[in-house]
Structure 1
């Protein structure tokens, strides 16, 4: 009987080793996602969110069916002139919340196909790449907030100081 169990034990040991060799898939969570509403004929708007990855990763792409072009931009200051420039990737250090907000890094939805109105949901597809180069996509439904909305508006969390 022991002779028959030997190959089974060896097989189970090999499976256990294989399980340890498989990389744990890096997970990225998205919270507080929202898109700023637009006025009629406005061509672009911003999308904002907080990204937290379980391992060192980066946001390498964003797409949405509501816009022709979607890019990640960062605000720049050149003297007293504020500008924006495209960023090819956003580093997501392990365990650190990275905020995409109106005052810093943010997603620009450009060439909008129609007006984005408060109360709608805007679908976003985020492409995240981990340190090993493995890519995953995240589907996000971002609610549209009023034109006057600021980062953190509609935040349900109580902040204690």
Structure 2
């Protein structure tokens, strides 16, 4: 991997990659594995980037697809009990990041497609960009985001009561 590739593809889009990997991983070790795999997949598929969309959109799509593939592989290997144990063992971040971690836990409770939509929304992508990436209408994006926000509030409230 060249320095130029690292700076253009990875470093300039690190926040996107971090957020996606963090949303789909359940521990620091798993996060690092996801991040490494995303970087590898970006490097392997760099020739397929045809500049028809913004680089950040392409990086988002590769990152999301990589993480979803890894989740599917893990789901096949791990029983529901083991998944719940993994969630319970999530690495605790500093007090300053505790609220953010609570949000990510709530996001992980969402369906995979809903996770992708809310992550795009949190990255401040327009409804049109989200619609384009997800292959749905802008109107549908708005409706889904409102429903996802409500579900996140409920998930976070439920977690604080338990």
TM-score > 0.5, shorter chain as reference: no
- Higher RCO (CA < 8 A, seq sep 6+): 1
Q: Identify, as 1 or 2, the structure richer in helix.
A: 2
Using structure 2 for the length normalisation, give the TM-score.
0.30
Q: Which has the larger radius of gyration?
A: 1
